[in-house]
Structures are given as structure tokens and as C-alpha cells.
Chain A
Amino acid sequence: MGQKQNKTMIVDATDQAAGNGLMNRRFFLNSALATGAAVVGGSAALAQETTVGEGQEDWTLYPGDDAPEYGELSQFEVGRVKKFVAPPTGGRTASSAGRTPLHLLHGTITPSGLHFEVTHHGIPDVDPDKHQMVVHGMVKQPLKWGVEQLENYPTVTRQHFLECSGNGRVCWAQPKPDQNFMYMTHGLVSGSEWTGVPLSTLLDEAGVSKDAKWVIAEGGDSGSLSRSIPIDKAMNDSMVAIYQNGERLRPSQGYPMRILNPGFEGNTSVKWVRSLYVTDKPVMSRFETSKYTDKLHDGKSLQFSLEMDVKSVITRPSNAVALEKKGMYEITGLAWSGKGKIAKVEVSADGGKTWAEAAVEGPVQSIMLTRFRIPWMYEGRPAVLQSRATDEFGRVQPTRKALLAARGKQAYYHYHAIHSWSVNARGKIRHVYA
């Protein structure tokens, strides 16, 4: 038997950073940990010898499998992690969504197999040897590339989040707060390391006209999904991504090549991209007119609301767990901004009356998920936990009330308000509007 450690945490009132138990973010680092000496049981009388492995589990007693060619999840994790909320395509709905279970994950990189995916016409099974992307329109020389040609270029590798503008849509109009685990309210955002060729490299090679204003991207799926990308974005930081987290893209992420527009609403990063038409006007495709537009209270709608807002959410604790004991818990979550870096994340344990600054885990990267954490002493008193992000441009995440006042309840897309978890005296956690 191993040694048992008795840890005593010494809490000083001066460590409090805000109301209802929020502690200074450095509390865990500073706190004195008194390690009690462990008592090791005396040796038992050697009455009758048994094999020393008595009581061990089988996996300790028998050699395991050989290394697989491609590693997989533990069989005990399968089925716990991903939630599909619409029937798989092939049925009669034209969209399906696989959501990231943020409440089960840590860090900032989402495993590729858990990256959220929204498809409008199913996931195509593209043979890379038959897939080519053309650049044409207002260019000197129309060009085409297969993935093997793209492999020849100097690449860039950057970590970025992708978020569907429908992330959180249930919080706009639904009168009662959604009580599914948070994949439903927040699971359409994920973080990855993307590798590809800067789109500007390919556009420059084709020779873009100085009068060009838009690039119309079309995918090779069965709906040839298309979006118009402003030329300033295309020439700035967009890329044609061919790798995600070090390996070739998954089919659901656009294999063998996709556009990645950092910080823009997810569906502009057209997957399975096969045509880029350089022009001076947007195409006004379905997905930028009737679909991904935000209905306002005055009957107008926002169009080309491309840049994602500043946003954050507490991932632990969440309504997926209950606090069974009083004690010192870590509140942790994710913050992100489609414009740049996260500058600050504040946390409240009293529904926004008082706020304490959380520790932000670096390196903080531009247009990437940023993890924050703060210690919290739960003493069995009711609490409402919230996080509020601020980005480097001074954009502050709004309350739900402020967001609804600005846009009404029918916007459907670009919900980014502060999310609230209520904790009751028994440790039960629920999503509330606060």
C-alpha cells in the first residue's frame, strides 16, 4: 500500500479576491501545504505465503496489447464523449452537428476526433488524387493545385479556434435555460493546430487584380457550399489548411484541403474547397443571405457578421457534475475572441455583483482558446458562477440582458453573452439566466 498524504490547506481571509468564496488566483501556488507523515502499517505475520499479486486487477497481471498502428480511445471512453444533436445526414434533414464535449476536456487543443463539425450536405469521402482547387476570375493566370502540389510550399502552422456562429443559439429565444450538458450551449467551438499554405501565396501566384474585393470559395461536398470572403482577409491571414493537429485533415474537417479564416464564423472556412473565384462583389450565396444572417428586433438582419465576438465559459464545474462536498474547488474554463488575444478573464461567484481576475494560462495566442482558472471555496452557500472575458481590443463579453437589448431574441447566430451556472446549497448545478 502506498503512503497516504494528509494535506491541510490554510485559508486566510486576506486570500479572498471577490465575494462568495472566490480566492486570489495565486492561492493554490501560495498556500501552505502541510504534509502529514503517513503511517505505514506494520508487517503482517508471515503465516501463509500467497502470490504477491493477490488483489491486483487483470491488467496489472497480464501483458497488454501490442502498440496499434493508429491509437484509439480507451474502450471505457467510447460513447461518453461526443454528442450528435441532429440525425446523421442521409436522412431528411440537411444539417448535422457533432459537438465538442467541453465539460469533459482540458487544455486548449481539442482532439481532432472531437472537433465540432457542422455539415449541410453530409461528409464527402473525397479521394485526394481526384481533388483539385482552382483559382480563377480576376487573376492574370488561372491556376489549379492538388494536395500534393500544396505540399511543396513553405507552410505555416498556427493554433486557432473555430466556432460556428450558431454556438449558443438556444440561449437567444428559449425562455427556459437549456439544461443539456454544455455541448449544447457551447460545443460548437474547438481549438486546433492548423498547418497549411497561406492563401495569399496562392493568390499572388495567380496574380490577383488590384480591383478584386472578394474571393468566392466553393466546396466539393454535395451542396458545393459557398461563401464570399473579403479580399483583405484572404490576403491577410487565411490559409488553405491541409493538416490538423499534425495529421492530415479528417474528412469531417475538409479532407484533403479547406479554407481556414481565423476568427471568422466557422462556415466561411469552406471545407473540401475546390474553387476560389476572385471578383469585385459577393456572390450572395444561401449561406450568407438566408442562413447565417442575424435577425434583429427592428426587422432588419445583420449580414456578413463574419468576425466572432469575445466570449468565455466556465467548463468546470458545470451542470455535468454536482459538488458533493464543501471545499476548495478550481473553477476553470475557456475564453476566446475572433479579433485577437484575450486580455483578461474575470470570474464571479455571486451572479456578477463582485468579480475577481482569474489566472490566464499562457502562452496566450491570438484567435485561440485561452484557459483560465481561479480557486473557489464552496462552503455550501448558494452561488451563481460566471466568467467575463475582455480581449486586447477592449471588447467585453456582455450580459445576456445587454445582448438581447441590442439585438432582440431572434438573432439565432452570434450569441456570446456571459453564461451562468447556479450552485445550490446541496451542490447541484444548473444553467440559469442571470
Chain B
Amino acid sequence: MRGGKSDMYMRKTLIAALLLAGSAVAMAQESRFGEPATQADIDKRFWSVFPDGTNLPDGQGTAVAGAEIFELQCHACHKNPPDEASEFEPEDPADVLFGGHGTIGTDGALATVGSYWPYSTTVFNYVRRAMPYTSPMSLTNSEYYSITAYLLYKNDIIEEDTVLNKETLPGIKMPNSDGFINAYPEVPEKYRTK
């Protein structure tokens, strides 16, 4: 008798527990609080352009127009090529834009847009979202194409009158485009410590 009662109790408890567990699972599945994002929501926050040209905007520019914009918007912080001294020497070598060709792999490595950056689209991608430093996104897409053209021209990668736009930019091959080795998920054996 006692055993029977106990069994019944256990069974009820078990059923209750299963019901509780079931509703917990159902609740977890219903944690859906995201709201549909509109194209406008996305456009405001999505600035990435890809090496294959994905998401490059309309507009176009050349180094000729870029030279003028560089003087007004960039020159205060960045030296002009080839060897002009600037009152401000960026302490971060990544901020040097011109020169350094052939230095990667030496003790005097100077990583610049011309000597190091592997993709032309990265130049446009970064400059448009982040520059000028004190007023990013303050220029037009055509002006950003022009600055990109100026940086590539002064690094001897394109001609002064080369027109950059969403069709032509992805096709510009950078000098160090083959300089990188993927280290994810593992650093290649050759560069691991013994």
C-alpha cells in the first residue's frame, strides 16, 4: 500500500517536472525579441565594401581632384609624398600613407598604403568611414573615390587620370596583394615556435 502511494506520488511529481521542463523549453524557443530591420536601418549602419566590389556606391573620382581634397582635408596630419617634412609625424607607422616600397621583411619595414595594403577597396572602405579624422563621413562618395585615387596614384599604382568607381576600383591590384598568409584557425607550422 505504502509503496503504491509512493509510486503514485513519484509519477505525479515526474509528470509535473516534465510539464515544467516542457514549458521552459517552449519559453526558450519563444525568446525572439528582434524586430524586422528595414533597408534604411541597414543602410545607416552598414559601411563595408568588399574586395569584389560588393556594396561600393555610385560616384567616381580621379587623383587630379583628389590632390586638392588631400591638401584641404588630409595634409594637416599626413605627409605628402615623396619626402615632404610635416610638422606632425604620426607615431603609428600604419598612418604613413606613401613610400616604403620594398621595405616589408626588413628591419626598417614601413607599412604604407603602397607598400603593404593588399586590397584597393580597403582604402576606400576605411577612408570613407573614418576620415577626415575629426569629421568622418563629411565628404561625398565621389570625393572619397578621388582621395582613394590620389593615394593610389602617389604610390605609383594607377595613373593620374585613372577614373575610380564601383566598376574600376575592385580591379586595381595592389603591390602587396600576395603578401599575406592566413593564420586562422592555426598559425602555419613554419612560424610556430619550436
Contact = CB atoms under 8 A, between A and B. Distances in A.
The answer to whether A and B assemble together is yes
Interface of A: 86, 92-95, 120-121, 132-136, 141-145, 149-150, 152-154, 173, 201-202, 205-206, 216, 218, 220, 222-224, 226, 230, 274-275, 277, 279, 281, 283-286, 289-291, 293-307, 398, 402-403, 405-410
B122 A132 contact: no
Interface stretch (B3-11, B57-65, B123-131): B123-131
A143 B130 contact: no
Given A94-B92, A285-B126, A289-B180, A149 B34 contact: yes
Contacts of A302: 180-181, 183, 187, 191
- By size class, the interface of chain B is 35 or more
B118 A307 contact: no
A136 B109 CA distance: 39
B103 to A, nearest CB: 10
Interface stretch (B15-23, B39-47, B139-147, B154-162): B39-47
A297 B180 contact: no
B35 A143 contact: yes
Contact of A94 (B36, B133, B183): B133
B2 interface: no
Contact of B52 (A218, A281, A290): A281
Contacts of A86: 91
B73 interface: no
Which 9 A/B pairs are nearest by Cβ-Cβ distance? A299-B105, A143-B34, A223-B130, A398-B193, A305-B183, A304-B184, A286-B126, A275-B45, A142-B37
Contact of A142 (B36, B95, B107, B111): B36
DSSP majority for the B interface? loop
Contact of B104 (A281, A286, A295): A295
A134 B45 contact: yes
B90 A93 contact: yes
B125 A222 contact: no
B179 A142 contact: no
A141 B76 CA distance: 45
Contacts of B34: 135, 143-145, 149, 202, 205-206
B121 interface: yes
A277 B33 CA distance: 19
B47 A93 contact: no
Interface of B: 28, 31-37, 41-42, 45-52, 76-77, 88, 90-92, 94-95, 104-107, 109, 111, 113, 116-119, 121-122, 125-126, 129-130, 133, 136, 179-185, 187, 191-194
A408 B107 CA distance: 9
A291 B118 CA distance: 11
In this complex, the member of B37, B104, B106, B121 whose beta carbon has the largest number of chain A beta carbons within 10 angstroms is B37
B87 to A, nearest CB: 10
A387 B133 CA distance: 42
A293 B194 contact: no
Contact of A296 (B46, B116, B191): B191
A224 B47 contact: yes
Nearest to B95: A94
B128 to A, nearest CB: 9
Given A289-B180, A302-B181, A410 B94 contact: no
Contacts of A275: 42, 45-48
Contacts of A403: 193
A409 B180 contact: no
B36 A143 contact: yes
Contacts of A206: 34
A284 B116 CA distance: 13
Nearest to B87: A92
Contacts of B42: 134, 136, 142, 275
Contact of B118 (A145, A153, A284): A284
Contact of A297 (B37, B50, B77, B105): B105
8 contacts: A134-B45, A135-B34, A205-B34, A281-B51, A300-B181, A302-B181, A304-B183, A402-B193
